[in-house]
Amino acid sequence: MSLLHPPRFQLHPQEQHHLRLVSDNGAALELFVLEQDIIRVLVLPDGELRGLPTWAIAPGMEDVPVHGRDRWDLSGFTLPSFDVQVNDETLRVQTEAIRLTVELAGGRCHWELQRNGQWHTVLTDRATQAYNFGYWDEQVYHYVQRQADDMYFGLGERAGELNRAGQRYEMRNLDAMGYSARSTDPLYKHIPFYLTWQPEAGTGFGLFYDTLADCSFDMGRELDNYHGHYRYFVAKHGDLDYYFIASPDTPLHAVRRFTWLTGRPAWMPRWGLGYSGSTMTYTDAPNAQARMDEFVEHCREHDILCDSFHLSSGYTSIGNKRYVFHWNRDKFPDARGFVDGYRQSGIRLCANIKPCLLRDHPAFAETQKAGLLVCDANGDPAWVQFWDEVGAYLDFTNPDTIAWWKAQVKTALLDYGIASTWNDNNEFEFWSPDASAKGFGKPYPAHEAKVLQTMLMMRASRDAQREHAPATRPFLVSRSGGVGMHRYVQTWSGDNYTSWETLRYNLRMGLGLALSGISNIGHDIGGFAGPAPSPELLVRWVAFGVFMPRFSIHSWNDDHTVNEPWMYPAVTSHIAALIKLRYHLIPYLYELLWQSTQAYEPVLRPTFAEFPADRRCYDINDDMMLGSSLLVAPVVESGQATRDVYLPAGTRWVAYWTGESFEGGQTVSLPAPWEQPVMLIREGGVIALNTAEQHFDQRADQRGFMVVPVAGIGEASGGCIEDDGETEAWRDGQQGCWQIRAISDLQSIALTVTREGCMPAHTDTVELLLPASETRQLHVSGARILKQSVMHGWHKLSLQCEH
């Protein structure tokens, strides 16, 4: 097809919810009106699909078929009615939220959103060669015009600034140990979704490119005088299959809808929110079981609360190499007793597993004979470099491999009492064009869908846990992954480098993941690779990490030291206090993850996502919202005793530690002692807490709520979910919730405490904390006041709930 003669399209007889535009030379544009706010565009240069099925699209669902979802499958969508207008030059499709105009000569798309009764242009394909209709090569391209004030967010875990404008990124999953959080690219995950936001217009949209191929995004770094200002997406192969998601009033709308589009986030056990210890040093030691036992004793000695430990791969070693599903009996002479001892101490083990078998792995011959490995054109293993040795990856597009993997997870780990799996080193770095995946009966070159292997690996691990203990919620983590990984795992940002710079940019990296539909996330606290953190850096990193859904201190330091809460005696008490703060906040975090599962709400969010009209929120502030109510401003520079923080306008803010009130729209300087990270609660917010004293050997759960009433007339409301924290009984209604309401006028506050559903036995009493500066008369319903006191700037009410 020549650039001189771009395809001219005609509308074929209309199918319900699906428009097919076809040119004389066979090219096709497929338009799918899926929701009022979601339209899909499929560009087929030859009129036929070239790529694999999708494993990403699962609207409101917990999963897709293991062999993938047919790209013509429209199940799960509401498929609303829409208007169509066609003339000689254009086709126009209009829903309540989107107006799409397609130029019939060339297929160029023009997108508008409705806001305040007016249509606003938000996206236009580049006027010159927007798509590749065979002009250049076999790759997939999409070029669009770039506006000067566009801001771009998302693309998963990316190094650098949260706004991706002016940069270029690759999605080619790599084991990027010791990466720079400011500049390294590519990294571990494959999330080809980003949000465009136009602050002046107060509107935006999301674009999701449904591809498994290695791909890249140029967000305005490239310039070419012949085409004007543009940005573009390019994939190595497959189809251009993209989803336009309207986000007319808030950036969060597109994030929620993208998360819904790609599946329901997993509802994981509450213990996954506790502190998780981890280090490679323990399991690499010749006396690994003894070193592991020492960790428990140190937690007890220093009163460090801990719920789990990530068992590094040294437990599988033979010599200095690692062999998945093998137990080193010299290091762990009593593996079952070791696991049981941890469980009796209240600590669950999450065992490291890897998807590549080294060539001398005890099971290599067996798996090769059974055809479970990725092989080359001659049927020989497709050799790859892996952990200082050569090996071959398991092929998870083979049902026999999935069955073998699940059996190994159960017999080598779960039967021992291991609680969960840590899916690691699962980037599937094979590059040879000769390597072939079985593709569930339709073989394809393995390098064309590396991320699919990652997704199927974590799914197989999840399914093994479900089969082993059907009544228990699975918990598992994965370093690598792609779109839809939130249906299976908790994740983290990989093997970061120890530095203050990493601390600063990991904060932005986490926000990028949250704006890409992945909320159950964290970082290796203290830094994984490089030098040991200084005492100050370690404390500040913990003070940031306690707010992330995943909270794990993990390391492999150059000097063989170990990042542990007690590694510096002078600051151990500060770290212990911060970890206890984390446990006080777990009810709030648990509720936020529930809202992620049920309403697709991101747990973390930049302030501009909550306050899109406040232009100051788009500045680089090194802070974040935890849910919609709690503003957190970590210290990310050395030597700071205070923290300047900008308070978004339009609301009042109350300091967590003092109850002091501040008007929004200003920058305030607040004290930031090591044990007290800067936290402010939004007016109208309700923060669920565990107010009980807790110790390593003495756990308790007392529900409390910090409530910040509206200063004038208005309502504060919130609550939290309550269940057993571990089983699947919630699916059968074995779950309850708290609801707290504070309706204010100028003279009084009416507080209402409500318990709904099936509540645990320990919920007869509750504590409410209101700012001590609050002088209006209180009226309480749903509970009676047992005791009142004032402490640390907060007025505390101890209440007995009515039955």
Helix axes 288-302 and 335-344, enclosed angle (nearest 10): 10
Residue 80 — left, alpha, or beta (φ > 0 → left; ψ -120 to 50 → alpha)?
beta
Judge whether 778 and 752 are in contact, CB under 8 Å: no
Distances from the Cα of 523 to the Cαs of 72, 189, 545, 729, in angstroms? 38, 14, 7, 31
Give the residue-averaged pLDDT of 680-703.
Answer: 96
Confidence tier at 257 by pLDDT (50, 70, 90): very high
Beta bridge partners of 39: 33, 244
Nearest to 680 by CA among 705, 706, 702: 706
Written as one letter, the residue type at 677 is P
pLDDT surpassing 70 at residue 320: yes
Classify burial at 661, counting beta carbons within 10 Å of its beta carbon; exposed 0-12, middle 13-18, buried 19 or more. Answer: middle
HEC readout, 226-286: CCCCEEEEEECCCCEEEEEEEECCCHHHHHHHHHHHCCCCCCCCHHHHCCEEECHHHHHCC
Q: Tell me what pLDDT residue 15 has.
A: 77
Distances from the Cα of 784 to the Cαs of 718, 750, 787, in angstroms? 19, 13, 9
Instruction: List pLDDT tens digits, range 380-397.
Output: 999 999 988 999 999 999
Q: Tell me what pLDDT residue 606 has.
A: 98
Give the residue-averaged pLDDT of 304-327.
Answer: 97
Instruction: List pLDDT tens digits, range 418-438.
Output: 999 999 999 999 888 999 999
Tokens of 723: 């269940």
Q: What is the pTM of this model?
A: 0.97
Residue 310: enclosing H or E segment and its boundaries?
strand 308-311
Judge whether 691 and 799 are in contact, CB under 8 Å: no
| Domains in the chain with CATH codes | 9-261 (2.60.40.1760), 270-354+401-427+451-594 (3.20.20.80), 686-803 (2.60.40.1180)
Cα–Cα distance for residue pair 490/484, rounded to 1 Å: 12
pLDDT surpassing 90 at residue 799: yes
Q: Tell me what pLDDT residue 431 has.
A: 85
Q: Tell me what pLDDT residue 761 has.
A: 74
Cα–Cα distance for residue pair 18/39, rounded to 1 Å: 10
pLDDT surpassing 70 at residue 2: no
Query: Whole-number mean pLDDT of the chain?
Result: 96
Confidence tier at 3 by pLDDT (50, 70, 90): low
Beta bridge partners of 277: 309, 553
The Cβ of residue 692 has, within 10 Å, a number of other Cβ atoms equal to 16
Confidence tier at 750 by pLDDT (50, 70, 90): very high
Nearest to 352 by CA among 309, 305, 410: 309
Q: Tell me what pLDDT residue 182 has.
A: 98
In a 13 Å sphere around the CA of 34, the CA atoms on its Cβ side amount to: 27
Judge whether 355 and 428 are in contact, CB under 8 Å: yes
- What percent of the chain shows pLDDT beyond 90? 95
Give the residue-averaged pLDDT of 78-97.
Answer: 96
Cα–Cα distance for residue pair 791/387, rounded to 1 Å: 54
Q: Tell me what pLDDT residue 782 has.
A: 93
Confidence tier at 287 by pLDDT (50, 70, 90): very high
Cα–Cα distance for residue pair 498/503, rounded to 1 Å: 8
pLDDT surpassing 70 at residue 25: yes
Instruction: List pLDDT tens digits, range 145-201.
Output: 999 999 999 999 999 999 999 999 999 999 999 999 999 999 999 999 999 999 999
In a 13 Å sphere around the CA of 226, the CA atoms on its Cβ side amount to: 3
Q: Beta-strand (E) ranges in 47-107?
A: 83-86, 90-94, 98-103
Nearest to 678 by CA among 668, 688, 687, 686: 668
DSSP for 518-573?
Answer: --SEEEEET-SEESPPPHHHHHHHHHHHTTSSEEEE--EETTS----TTSSGGGHH
Q: Tell me what pLDDT residue 4 has.
A: 62
CA 100 to chain centroid, in Å, comes to: 31
Q: Tell me what pLDDT residue 115 has.
A: 84
Instruction: List pLDDT tens digits, range 505-515.
Output: 999 999 999 99
pLDDT surpassing 80 at residue 49: yes
Indicate if the alpha-carbon torsion angle 607, 610, 612, 616 is positive or negative.
negative
Say which range, 7-16, 58-67, 245-254, 452-461, has the weakest mean pLDDT: 7-16
Q: Tell me what pLDDT residue 14 has.
A: 76
Instruction: List pLDDT tens digits, range 435-475.
Output: 999 999 999 999 999 999 999 999 999 999 999 999 999 99
Beta bridge partners of 534: none
Q: Show Cβ contacts of residue 775 under 8 Å, excluding neighbours closer than 6 positions.
A: none
Q: Tell me what pLDDT residue 765 has.
A: 93
Cα–Cα distance for residue pair 15/772, rounded to 1 Å: 63
The values of phi and psi at residue 121, to 5°, are -70, 130
Give the residue-averaged pLDDT of 759-783.
Answer: 91
HEC readout, 2-31: CCCCCCEEEECCCECCEEEEEECCCCEEEE
Q: Tell me what pLDDT residue 784 has.
A: 93
Judge whether 423 and 453 are in contact, CB under 8 Å: no
What 3-state DSSP class applies to 356? strand
Give the residue-averaged pLDDT of 737-753.
Answer: 97
Residue 491: enclosing H or E segment and its boundaries?
strand 490-492
pLDDT surpassing 60 at residue 1: no
DSSP assignment letter at 679: E
